[in-house]
């Protein structure tokens, strides 16, 4: 059986691309230097795959920043404002990716969005009325030839035209239908160039096919691909899909003249069924995505081989479920993690071995093979992963645990009385600037260069200063500042049983930013009090209310590598119980306002609307309630979400039953407020009054204007005044100025 990889990590094992790019941005490395660094990474990546014996290896999966942006540049979909800077091609590309501020001008970057249901972000192409779609780039051709030069025959991987158009923003009067045939022509040209250079198979990535599609979408897809397939000039075309199944278009897709079709059997719950019901044409090859490109656990060969046996298609290639971009490079870089753990993980490099191993025994009498037996040993149970206590607690959860009493309206009254806050109370989202000294303190402590006492003492000094500052500014509900955390998930993971951490398991989040998600290894429980000391100390510094600050279970799960041996729901409940212990502990220690951040709740909504509730919200929202349902009526629960793009799930957000929710609103057009009103939103709200993603200081008038708009839609008694997210990436100076103006604005409208 042959094997295929959709895409490989591209940041370099030691994040070489990040460091080279950053040097280039600072002018410490020239363009030739950056190009050379990139070439080296590509070569290493290709050879790793070749040496592992992978049959179909992708080229053009590399990117300096993002593949969608690469595709835009390939077809000249470059807004004039970037071209007008008159920079080199690579610099123009980076200007679109990161914005440009310098002697040639001042432009913001293209918008960035999450790539389907992953934590990777792409740049949103802009198509305006002046856009002339033309094949002007050569990247796929260059990278195909470069690979061949080092002896690796590849399939050039392209983001397909359907997905590209679906992801693009149309900023002028043109719509998809006005440009799709021109884009198709240009793809045809590209296919013919690749064919002339010797490419035998070209991969068209079309993940947009796994979303809900209507008749218009299906017609568009056919209109795009019919001409491409009629003009393929002897090249074979692989239609590659991932992140789900293609139930809305499968029956149509198999009628088209694709030579191969790649389907995801892991996230695509209906993939196997679709093949059974509709069949799979004998003249096509099926690329079966069975090795997980998103998670880091070893593949269970029994399941995979059984799935392969059951497919019932004669020509099958074994592949990854999606690009390996979403997993780290290699376990070989993990020197601290013991074999007991490591043997259960497979990062990109180890997945290559899995592909080859499975392919080598598929179709044989594998049950007695060493490969199979060794693999199965891994699934006999894992060291330390079970905690009977935790399991019993989850099993004992009853419906009542999901309900906070008394009901919201009654609590609201009690809290207003006890807290005695003014109208339009002012607060922040939690973190204060993480200045150099704050980071240094943490790093030195982690490296053992600082004692625990010194570390704590420094943080307490910071907290005391932060409280004093907030008092001076005149904020109503204070925070401790979060100086102890570098990351809102990692920090909690480190304080929970059941988590495992890596040293170099970086995954690209966007451009030069990589994240190192912790791994949920086993049953999760709280090791001990996590934030109580800090919050208690902060409270001792002031007579004003201090808000405790936690990360919620859904966000903790969504930003970790989840387990595969128990359900996501079960894992979320375990985390919820652990965080609940912390909530009750804070409350017992006199903290009567507690914020439970769910920054990532919105982003894991399933790709298909029909799955939103049954596959996600139906357990994610109750899990949040479980965290706070046992607090006293007078304890006020806040939550925070980063994006306000929850217009279509407002009832679900209200059902979190928090007392106050703060969210980002300053960059959106406040449309969300209309929906809040229309849905009779009960929870008190703090729509961010200014954008913390920029160092700009908002004026008092500006904030008053924003608040006035909000007051038109939100009852005065429910409106809070706050920035739209944490202040950790900001500097001290602009923070003080901005918050001072925020307080002044609140006072003005109170008057």
Active-site amino acid positions: 693
Per-position DSSP letters for 171-211, written without gaps between them: -SS--HHHHHHHHHHHHHHHHHHHHHHT--EEEEE-GGGGS
Cβ proximity to ligand GLN, 285 vs 531, nearer residue: 531
Cβ proximity to Zn ion, 725 vs 739, nearer residue: 725
Q: Is 374 left (phi over 0), alpha (psi -120 to 50) or beta?
A: alpha
Q: Which stretch binds ligand GLN (CB under 6 A): 99-107, 195-203, 409-417, 425-433?
A: 425-433
C-alpha–C-alpha distance, residues 47 and 61, integer Å: 14
Query: What is the smallest separation between the CB atom of 559 and ligand GLN, expressed in angstroms?
Result: 10
Cβ proximity to ligand GLN, 139 vs 640, nearer residue: 640
Query: What is the smallest separation between the CB atom of 4 and Zn ion, expressed in angstroms?
Result: 39
Q: Are 264 and 321 in contact (CB under 8 A)?
A: yes
Name which of residues 359 to 398 contact ligand GLN (CB under 6 A): none
Name which of residues 559 to 598 contact ligand GLN (CB under 6 A): 597
Residue 456, Cβ neighbours under 10 Å: how many? Answer: 17
Interface mask (CB under 5 A) for Zn ion, residues 594-623, using x and -?
Answer: -----x------------------------
Q: Are 316 and 291 in contact (CB under 8 A)?
A: no
Query: What is the smallest separation between the CB atom of 473 and ligand GLN, expressed in angstroms?
Result: 16
Supply the angle between the helices 370-377 and 301-311 in degrees, to the nearest 10: 120
Name which of residues 260 to 299 contact ligand GLN (CB under 6 A): none
Q: Which stretch binds Zn ion (CB under 5 A): 93-101, 209-217, 226-234, 635-643?
A: 635-643
Q: Which stretch binds ligand GLN (CB under 6 A): 124-132, 294-302, 441-449, 723-731?
A: 723-731
- Spatial CB neighbours of 464, under 8 Å, sequence gap ≥ 6: 537, 541
C-alpha–C-alpha distance, residues 417 and 420, integer Å: 5
Name which of residues 308 to 337 contact ligand GLN (CB under 6 A): none
Query: What is the smallest separation between the CB atom of 685 and Zn ion, expressed in angstroms?
Result: 14
Any idea which residue has 């992963």 for tokens?
385
Query: What is the smallest separation between the CB atom of 250 and Zn ion, expressed in angstroms?
Result: 38
Whose CB is nearest to Zn ion? Answer: 725
Q: Are 315 and 285 in contact (CB under 8 A)?
A: yes
C-alpha–C-alpha distance, residues 255 and 744, integer Å: 65
Find the binder of Zn ion among 11, 199, 235, 642 (CB under 5 A).
Answer: 642
Find the binder of Zn ion among 69, 188, 725, 727 (CB under 5 A).
Answer: 725
For residue 164, give Cα distances in angstroms to 111, 127, 205: 15, 11, 10
C-alpha–C-alpha distance, residues 114 and 98, integer Å: 16
Q: Which stretch binds ligand GLN (CB under 6 A): 89-97, 429-437, 455-463, 466-474?
A: 429-437
Find the binder of ligand GLN among 430, 518, 552, 553 (CB under 6 A).
Answer: 430
Any idea which residue has 């030195």 for tokens?
444
Cβ proximity to ligand GLN, 154 vs 738, nearer residue: 738
Whose CB is nearest to ligand GLN? Answer: 726
Cβ proximity to Zn ion, 421 vs 642, nearer residue: 642
Q: Are 16 and 29 in contact (CB under 8 A)?
A: no
Name which of residues 529 to 558 contact ligand GLN (CB under 6 A): 549
Q: Is 554 in the site for Zn ion (CB under 5 A)?
A: no
Residue 412 interaction partner, one of ligand GLN, Zn ion, none, beta carbon < 5-8 Å per kind: none
Instruction: Tell me the number of residues near ligand GLN by CB under 6 A.
Output: 13
C-alpha–C-alpha distance, residues 671 and 433, integer Å: 30
C-alpha–C-alpha distance, residues 486 and 497, integer Å: 19
Q: Is 725 in the site for ligand GLN (CB under 6 A)?
A: yes
Sign of the CA dihedral running 177, 183, 184, 185: positive
Query: What is the smallest separation between the CB atom of 734 and ligand GLN, expressed in angstroms?
Result: 16
Q: Are 60 and 143 in contact (CB under 8 A)?
A: yes
Name which of residues 360 to 419 contact Zn ion (CB under 5 A): none
Q: Is 599 in the site for ligand GLN (CB under 6 A)?
A: yes
Q: Is 260 in the site for Zn ion (CB under 5 A)?
A: no
C-alpha–C-alpha distance, residues 176 and 168, integer Å: 9
For residue 450, give Cα distances in angstroms to 447, 454, 459, 494, 520: 8, 6, 12, 19, 29
Query: What is the smallest separation between the CB atom of 568 and ligand GLN, expressed in angstroms?
Result: 21
C-alpha–C-alpha distance, residues 683 and 749, integer Å: 21
Cβ proximity to ligand GLN, 125 vs 430, nearer residue: 430
Query: What is the smallest separation between the CB atom of 477 and Zn ion, expressed in angstroms?
Result: 17
Q: Which stretch binds ligand GLN (CB under 6 A): 51-59, 135-143, 469-477, 725-733?
A: 725-733
Provide the binding-site residues for Zn ion, judged by CB under 5 A. 599, 642, 725
Which spans of this chain sit near ligand GLN (rule: CB under 6 A)? 429-431, 482, 488, 549, 597, 599, 640, 642, 725-726, 728
């Amino acid at each position: 059986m042959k094997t295929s990889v959709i895409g490989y990590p591209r940041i370099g094992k030691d994040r070489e691309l990040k460091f080279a790019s950053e040097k280039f941005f600072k002018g410490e490395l020239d363009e030739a230097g950056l190009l050379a660094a990139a070439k080296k990474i590509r070569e290493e990546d290709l050879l790793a795959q070749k040496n592992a014996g992978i049959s179909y290896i992708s080229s053009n999966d590399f990117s300096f920043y993002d593949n969608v942006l690469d595709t835009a540049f390939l077809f000249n979909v470059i807004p004039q404002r970037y071209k007008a800077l008159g920079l080199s091609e690579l610099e123009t590309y980076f200007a679109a990716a990161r914005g440009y501020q310098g002697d040639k001008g001042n432009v913001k970057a293209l918008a960035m969005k999450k790539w389907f249901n992953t934590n990777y972000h792409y740049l949103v192409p802009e198509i305006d009325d002046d856009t002339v779609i033309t094949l002007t780039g050569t990247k796929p051709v260059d990278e195909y030839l470069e690979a061949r030069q080092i002896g690796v025959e590849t399939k050039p991987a392209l983001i397909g035209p359907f997905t590209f158009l679906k992801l693009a923003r149309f900023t002028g009067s043109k719509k998809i239908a006005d440009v799709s045939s021109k884009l198709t022509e240009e793809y045809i040209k590209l296919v013919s160039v690749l064919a002339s250079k010797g490419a035998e198979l070209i991969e068209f990535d079309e993940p947009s096919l796994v979303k809900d599609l209507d008749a218009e979408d299906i017609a568009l897809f056919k209109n795009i691909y019919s001409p491409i397939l009629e003009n393929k000039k002897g090249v074979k075309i692989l239609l590659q899909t991932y992140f789900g199944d293609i139930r809305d278009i499968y029956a149509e897709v198999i009628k088209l003249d694709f030579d191969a079709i790649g389907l995801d059997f892991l996230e695509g719950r209906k993939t196997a069924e679709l093949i059974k019901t509709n069949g799979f044409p004998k003249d096509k090859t099926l690329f079966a995505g069975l090795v997980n490109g998103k998670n880091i656990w070893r593949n269970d060969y029994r399941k995979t081989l059984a799935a392969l046996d059951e497919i019932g298609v004669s020509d099958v290639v074994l592949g990854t479920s999606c690009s390996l971009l979403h997993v780290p490079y290699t376990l070989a870089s993990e020197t601290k993690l013991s074999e007991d753990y490591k043997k259960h993980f497979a990062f990109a490099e180890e997945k290559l071995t899995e592909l080859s191993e499975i392919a080598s025994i598929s179709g044989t009498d594998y049950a007695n093979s060493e490969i199979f037996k060794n693999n199965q040993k891994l699934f006999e149970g894992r060291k330390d992963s079970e905690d009977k206590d935790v399991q019993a607690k989850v099993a004992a959860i009853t419906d009542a645990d999901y309900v906070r009493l008394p009901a919201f309206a009654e609590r609201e009254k009690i809290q207003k009385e006890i807290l005695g806050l003014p109208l339009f109370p002012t607060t922040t989202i939690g973190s204060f600037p993480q200045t150099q000294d704050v980071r240094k303190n943490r790093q030195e402590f982690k490296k053992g260069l600082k004692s625990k006492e010194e570390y704590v003492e420094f943080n307490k000094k910071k907290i005391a200063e932060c409280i004093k500052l907030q008092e001076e500014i005149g904020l109503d509900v204070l925070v401790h500042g979060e100086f102890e955390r570098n990351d809102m998930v990692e920090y909690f993971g480190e304080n929970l049983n059941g988590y495992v951490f890596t040293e170099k398991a970086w995954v690209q989040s966007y451009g030069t930013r990589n994240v190192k998600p912790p791994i949920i290894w086993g049953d999760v429980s709280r090791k001990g009090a996590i934030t109580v000391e800090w919050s208690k100390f902060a409270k001792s510094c002031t007579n004003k209310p201090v808000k405790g600050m936690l990360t919620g279970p859904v966000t903790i799960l969504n930003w970790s590598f989840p387990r595969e041996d128990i359900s996501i729901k079960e894992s979320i409940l375990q985390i919820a119980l652990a965080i609940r212990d912390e909530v009750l502990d804070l409350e017992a220690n006199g903290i009567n306002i507690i914020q439970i951040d769910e920054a990532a709740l919105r982003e894991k909504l399933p790709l298909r609307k029909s799955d939103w509730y049954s596959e996600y919200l139906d357990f994610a929202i109750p899990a949040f309630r479980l965290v706070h349902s046992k607090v006293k009526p007078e304890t006020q629960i806040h939550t925070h979400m980063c994006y306000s793009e929850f217009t279509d799930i407002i009832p679900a957000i209200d059902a979190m039953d928090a007392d106050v929710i703060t969210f980002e609103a300053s960059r959106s057009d406040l449309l969300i407020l209309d929906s809040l009103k229309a849905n009779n939103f009960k929870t008190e709200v703090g729509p961010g009054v200014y954008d913390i993603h920029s160092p700009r200081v908002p004026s008092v008038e500006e904030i008053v204007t924003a608040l006035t708009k909000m007051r038109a839609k939100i009852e005065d008694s429910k409106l809070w005044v706050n920035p739209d997210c944490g202040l950790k990436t900001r500097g001290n100076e602009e923070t003080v100025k901005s918050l001072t103006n925020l307080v002044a604005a609140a006072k003005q409208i109170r008057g």
